[in-house]
Amino acid sequence: MIARIETGFVDSRAADLSLVYGMPRLPAVGSQHLTLQGRALELRLLGASHQVLVGDWSETVACLPERVDRLPSRAETVVGGLHVWFAAQTLRLDGAGLSDRVSGIIRDCATDERAIVGEFPGSPLAITAVRAWAEQDGVAWRTWHAYPQAAELVETRTVVRQA
């Protein structure tokens, strides 16, 4: 599903992102509800960031001014009866490389009922996308945050299983 976002692009670069678990539901500019492995998920776009809710638990990757910690490359925790594994990487891509990668993400997610892509005004490369799937004994998702002004693409992957 593609959501055309009628708001300005908030985050400016990958280094501004933080990972937070358990935040309350934040205002979203687009969302997608689905059920995988008997679990209710909500994929939420928060401007140039994302929030995924699994039942009452949440993962938020966003520019949060009050947070000084940055997005980790890897994290693993057990919280609220869930075993959570997280990985992130930031790619620095030239104009053609970023354009090709973003076009592929949009194409792959556009018709997937388990995905949402937010396209922002100002640049066809300014997107945030979340795509979920069932995983053995759990659920998983990937996200993409494109920052064309910095030639950066942040990719994350999360797997959540019962602890």
Instruction: Supply 6's token pair.
Output: 């009628």
- Domain span at residue 27? 2-162
- CA quadruple 30, 116, 139, 88: dihedral positive or negative? negative
Q: How far is Cα 148 from Cα 150, in angstroms, rounded to an integer?
A: 5
pLDDT tens string 53-82: 999 999 999 988 777 778 999 999 998 899
Q: How many domains does the chain have?
A: 1
* pLDDT band of 10, cuts 50, 70, 90: low
Q: How far is Cα 122 from Cα 126, in angstroms, rounded to an integer?
A: 8
- Mean predicted confidence (pLDDT) in 39-65: 91
3-state secondary structure of 70: coil
Q: Is pLDDT of 24 > 60?
A: yes
**Cβ–Cβ under 8 Å, residues 45 and 109:** no
Report the predicted TM-score, pTM, of the whole model to 2 decimal places. Answer: 0.92
pLDDT of residue 2: 60
pLDDT of residue 15: 84
